[in-house]
Amino acid sequence: MGDMVRGMKLGTGIGGWPGRAPEAARRAEEAGYDIVSCGELAHDSVLTMALAATTTEKVELQTSVAIAFPRSPMVLAMEAWDIQQYSGGRFSLGLGSQVKGHNERRFGGTWAAPAPRMREYIQMMRAIWDTWQNRTKPSFVGKHYQYTLMTPNFDPGPLEVPFPKVGLAMVGPGMARVGGEQADVIMPHGGIMSDLYMREVMLPAVRKGLVSSGRTWADVEVSASGYLVLYDDEKEIEEKMLAMRQTLSFYGSTRTYHKVLELHGLEELGQKLYGMSVQGRWDEMREAVPLEAIDELAQTVKYDDLPEFLATNREYASRFSFTMPATNPEEQERAAAIRKRVQELQTPRVPRGLEL
């Protein structure tokens, strides 16, 4: 299954108002995390990561994700270049497409088939960076984007660190293939993902992308994904599964994510949630998700057994994010010990049965 690679990168999320990012990122770095990430719901992820860079020195700064299509590739290429320079090479630009309704009706933008458009998006950003770094002529012309002009006033010049990493979020096989072709970091959508869907749909599609671009699993970092319930006492399992209904109801209401539900025989639930969202019954959707649906999608593991679980069930991954209770010194010491065990975990970083 390939050479064993020592070390799982451990991530944690920061969020809320961007002004809180510097302190949150500093604390995460001091706690020993390898990656801090932020979503892009009510606040700008790129700004948040720029501020996080001001108080940190080692931790990777990852947008999880920046919504790509409302921004031009040039805009994000410039922002990523600046943060990469300022942070000393620690920026990871995680990209996501969002769905049609949000692109058109929330962002006021345009929509096209997302996977081909994302392929061009990443290619254009890399072409821009190549110009700035290596003085290559602007000559990228695609169906959705073109980059054929760069004058000295708009050229920031080269970096003394590598290009920013490009991560790509995905929930379908088309985008997963683009990730295998183009991305540095594979970011399966954690909001609605099962281990079965990862193995039967996502990872095989990533492999196709790797093959088509002449790359191997060693060229990408894959984030572990799949609904996971972590617990100490078995009495916690049902409580935590019930809490997961909110997440499943939100993502399950969008048809883009129904392929995951269909694989598990939950297509009727997806259609019900979609119908309720169209009717604006958002407050009722959580209660419409039965516990059995969460049980079908999720895996369970005790905190103390997490490293062994990851070795067996997430052998393809080199990145993982989790949190655990740490409200007193004893709990903090235990949490730190488990995080250290995860970070020391050796994984082959190649999915079983999908070797190249």
Q: Report the pLDDT value the prediction gives residue 191, as an integer from 0 to 100.
A: 85
Ordered domains of the chain (ranges, CATH): 5-231+301-347 (3.20.20.30), 245-297 (no CATH)
pLDDT of residue 190: 86
Region for 326 from its dihedrals, namely left if φ exceeds 0, alpha if ψ lies in -120 to 50, beta otherwise = beta
pLDDT score for 352: 97
Per-residue pLDDT of the chain (356 residues; tens, 9 = 90+): 344 446 899 999 999 999 999 999 999 999 999 999 999 999 999 999 999 999 999 999 999 999 999 999 999 999 999 999 999 999 999 999 999 999 999 999 999 999 999 999 999 999 999 999 999 999 999 999 999 999 999 999 999 999 999 999 999 999 999 999 999 999 999 888 999 999 999 999 999 999 999 999 999 999 999 999 999 999 999 999 999 999 999 999 999 899 999 999 999 999 999 999 999 999 999 999 999 999 999 999 999 999 999 999 999 999 999 999 899 999 999 999 999 999 999 999 999 999 99
- Beta-carbon-side half-sphere exposure of residue 9 (alpha carbons within 13 Å): 20
Whole-number pLDDT of residue 6: 60
